[in-house]
Structure 1
Amino acid sequence: MAAAQTNPLWKEAKIKNYLPHMTVPEVESFLERSDMVIIPIGALEQHSSHLPIGTDFINGVELCKLIAQEREVLVAPVLMAGQSPYHMAFPGTISLSAETIVKVHMETVESLVQNGFKRFIFMNSHGGNRAITTFLVDQINQKTAAVAVDFSVAVSPFLKPENTKNTTSLDRHAGVSETCDSLYLMPSLVEIERATDPGMKLPKHLEKMLPEVIKEEPTAKLLFLSEALKAEETGKKTSTIEMTKTGVWGDLNPKQATLERGEERVSKMVAACRGFIDKWNELTQQTI
């Protein structure tokens, strides 16, 4: 009878070091071993027809969970939505202001510092939050007792880059790379059979820049990303719906994605973060 009354939708298993699953005694015990927190900053936005609205949030959380199984770091997600004004033409997208995102995370850090946590890694899993994450990390370091770092900056020296020498295509939002990661991190939510050709069209001057951008030429990439993928109200004609009706920002069909590549990409990221955490502990003489 007890089994018959159990929620039929509940399938979640308890994950080590994942704050939403932990009890107060477990957090107290964790603080005896570590004072480090990793906070994913994601988004709730369209990801074409084959990936869910919550792709950035879910993938970010799952990556952090994997890291926390190998090192003593608390995973503390507090906000699903991010800054996504350029996707607003697609139903389901939620976009928050930079001020809101910063305020929520500042108050989160202040709460956790009061609990006894001192070190914070902010793992941004949505490109539109990049500048916000940089500012947030600086504000925490300037205004609180905590020490914060940006995940992408922190892991860079430990990260083995992918071989992109022969890359000839743009592959960004909801494209092949993100679909590969999703096939590994949240396989049951990927509907690969529904993926379609992107059908992307750029303003002519941005299209001319594209070959240099794909080659990672620094100036071209800087100027391209400064103008591309911006809200309709800016008048730049680069919101998602103005560039592609499918919501995929790239040239490649996401059906080219493979689980194997996703596993390789995620494993490299976990290993890089593991290396950074070990170095941080070493430099601060932490034994936990």
Structure 2
Amino acid sequence: MYLADLCWQEAGKVLSDPETIVVIPVGSTEQHGCVGPLGTDWMIPDEFCRRISGMDHIVIAPTIPYGVATHHINFPGTIDLGIETMIKVMGAVFESLFRHGARRFVVMNGHGGNDPAIEKAALEIYRRGGLVALIDWWGIAPKLNPAWPTGHGDAQETAAVMAFRPDLIKPEYLLDNVVPAPTKNLKPVHINTVLFEGAPVKIIREIRDTVNTGGFGGLESKMATREWGVAMMDGMTKWIEDFINEYRSVKLPEKDWE
């Protein structure tokens, strides 16, 4: 069920039910390589939530389409809340729902830049007696199948969007990645991450100075197929359902830290 579809009387009953898990889809509005839509990071979590919305004792909160997109701001259309604002947004969402009885939350996240803010807000609500699970789908997918490698604005995310909104992928904008190495001994592997003598280190730069398309880290977008996306979205949906069923048995914190 969707929280937005309920009247306040219905919401009161649902949120105060100890069996209820509130799922919050979160993403970002930012560049996603040469062919990915700006809404990639919130559209994919939104789609996962649509797929699990019929599960018992699950309520889907409205999707949060903005996030921490500081590194992407030089690409047109990107909207950056910044980390401090994102902490406040997530904290306010958790606190509001907690006030009305919700104790278990799952954040269906589509953007790695959001993680520190979500984790900070989640720890605060834990200290109140709530519990938050953070699902970063792109990092889980390669564990289910190594043929689904992750990156930013690359083939993995492009394939995922192809599974449910293929019309948003526009091949006429497809470009090959040009990834200049900072030095001959520093090998770029993901946006600001390079390898030096086999070890990863970050050199913080504007993304436009690291890759011409804005997408890098896995396979290039031209490698994406709808078949890959369908299989990956289906596999991830099954994993999410199984995780949520297991998560129900995790004990809530016994102490109210206030």
Q: Which interval holds the TM-score relative to the shorter structure?
A: 0.7 to 0.9
User: 1:133-282 to 2 correspondence within 5 Å?
Assistant: 133-142=118-127, 144-152=128-136, 161-163=144-146, 172-204=151-183, 207-208=186-187, 210=189, 220=199, 223-224=200-201, 227-228=202-203, 236=204, 238-250=205-217, 252-282=219-249
* Distance of 2:217 and 2:189 partners within structure 1: 11
What SS does the aligned partner of 2:52 have? helix
Alignment length (residue pairs): 245
User: Structure 1 residues 87, 206: closer, same or farther in 2, change over 3 A?
Assistant: farther
User: Structure 1 residues 252, 122: closer, same or farther in 2, change over 3 A?
Assistant: closer
Match of residue 93 from structure 1 = 78
Structure having the larger proportion of residues in helix: 1
CA contact (8 A) 2:3 2:61 kept: yes
Match of residue 54 from structure 2 = 69
Identity percentage over the alignment? 28
Structure having the larger proportion of residues in strand: 2
CA contact (8 A) 1:36 1:73 kept: yes
User: Structure 1 residues 210, 145: closer, same or farther in 2, change over 3 A?
Assistant: closer
Q: Normalising to structure 1: TM-score of the pair?
A: 0.73
User: Structure 1 residues 159, 100: closer, same or farther in 2, change over 3 A?
Assistant: same
Letter of the 1:105 counterpart: M
* Distance of 2:50 and 2:9 partners within structure 1: 20
Please give the per-residue CA displacement for 1:242-261, whole angstroms capped at 9, x wherever unaligned.
01222222474412211111
User: Structure 1 residues 26, 259: closer, same or farther in 2, change over 3 A?
Assistant: farther
What SS does the aligned partner of 1:94 have? coil
Deviation at 1:284?
Answer: 5.7
Deviation at 1:277?
Answer: 1.7
Match of residue 11 from structure 1 = none
CA contact (8 A) 1:196 1:253 kept: no
What SS does the aligned partner of 2:79 have? coil
**Which residue, 44, 51, 69 being the options, matches 2:29?**
44
Letter of the 1:161 counterpart: L
List gaps (5 residues or longer) in structure 2.
Answer: 253-258
* Distance of 2:210 and 2:134 partners within structure 1: 30
Deviation at 1:117?
Answer: 1.5
1:53 aligns with 2:38: yes
List gaps (5 residues or longer) in structure 1.
Answer: 1-16, 229-235
